[in-house]
With several copies, the nearest count.
Chain A
Amino acid sequence: MSAARVGIVTFPGTLDDQDAARAVHLVGAEAVPLWHADHDLKGVDAVFLPGGFSYGDYLRCGAISRFAPLMDELIPAARAGLPVLGTCNGFQILCEAHLLPGALTRNASLHYVCRDQRLRIEQADTPWTGAFAPGQEITLPIKHGEGRYVASADTLAALESGGQVVVRYLGDNPNGSLNDIAGISNEAGNVVGLMPHPEHAVEELVGAPSTDGVGFFTSILKKLVNT
């Protein structure tokens, strides 16, 4: 069987791993659990870093997780082109690990915010967004206390001109993120970080009142099956 195998990482304090596994499963790919303490990517074709409060979000979100044994394997693999998607805490970990530029800081409102957020897909040519049309507007839940994306002016300019802004908030900016950034990619495009949660928007009855999250999972499946 040559099903696409998507690794799902669990750190102590990870919360959305089971949700992500279910979403991967729903689109017909295989979800492979990856444990933070193992030096082992189990030969997966792509990796999903789910949300949560790894290490309690103590110190800074993602700061401690970044040093997990698994990250020793993941960081070089991602640099070599392995598709990686980090959502929420996963995004924070990717920034802390310097796989993505910039940082995620305390929401400008100083409150944790859980709500359904309008978004625009700015880049449809990453492995994680290929199933969307460029400019497509979608709704996904957001739920975070530290999602305000910041980066130096140079970095921001480079992200914008290099087509690395993948998803943007529409309407009220929920956290004060610079340039309304909700998600970015690395230069190569294989590593994507998002604050919103596609895995909570994949089924009609449960979770957010949309199934727009499915696109992220069909994107990676299509990408992996076609290559």
Chain B
Amino acid sequence: MARVIVDVMLKPEILDPQGQAIARALPRLGFSGVAEVRQGKRFEIELDGPADEAAIADVRKMAETLLANTVIEDYSVRVEG
């Protein structure tokens, strides 16, 4: 069993109202020094087998077609180690 992580974030040019709302709230909560917050998704994918090249390619395809909406989101895939 291996675990692969897929991070999905809105593309930089796409508005992230959620991240903005958090960033705006921070000073009121006494946190300063934060320039920007962006919020995305993190998927933990447990594989039945090892995270070999074929499996990673599969996860990448999964990310491309299902986990991320590539019209507005970028994704990255990595094996947790």
Contact = CB atoms under 8 A, between A and B. Distances in A.
A59 B28 contact: no
B25 A64 contact: yes
Given A64-B22, A105-B72, A59 B66 contact: yes
Contact of B17 (A64, A102, A108, A151): A108
Contacts of A58: 17-18, 21-22, 39
A107 B17 contact: yes
Interface in A48-67: 55-56, 58-60, 63-64, 67
Contacts of A223: none
B15 interface: yes
Contact of A55 (B13, B25, B39): B25
A103 interface: yes
A59 B39 contact: yes
Contacts of A176: 15, 17
A110 interface: yes
Contacts of A95: 71
Contacts of B14: 105, 150
B1 interface: no
Contacts of B29: 67
Interface in B38-57: 39
Nearest to A153: B13
B22 A59 contact: yes
A55 B69 contact: no
Interface string A156-178: 00000000000000000000100
Interface in B1-20: 10, 13-15, 17-18
Nearest to B28: A67
Contacts of B15: 105, 108, 148, 150, 176
A89 B11 CA distance: 23
Contacts of A56: 17-18, 21
B21 A67 contact: no
Contact of B69 (A63, A107, A109, A152): A63
B77 interface: no
A107 B69 CA distance: 17
Given A55-B25, A59-B39, A102 B71 contact: yes
9 contacts: A55-B21, A56-B21, A58-B39, A59-B18, A64-B22, A95-B71, A103-B69, A108-B17, A150-B15
Interface of B: 10, 13-15, 17-18, 21-22, 25, 28-29, 39, 66-67, 69, 71-72
Given A106-B18, A110-B21, 14 more contacts: A55-B25, A58-B17, A58-B18, A59-B18, A59-B39, A59-B67, A64-B21, A64-B22, A64-B25, A103-B71, A105-B14, A106-B17, A110-B18, A148-B17
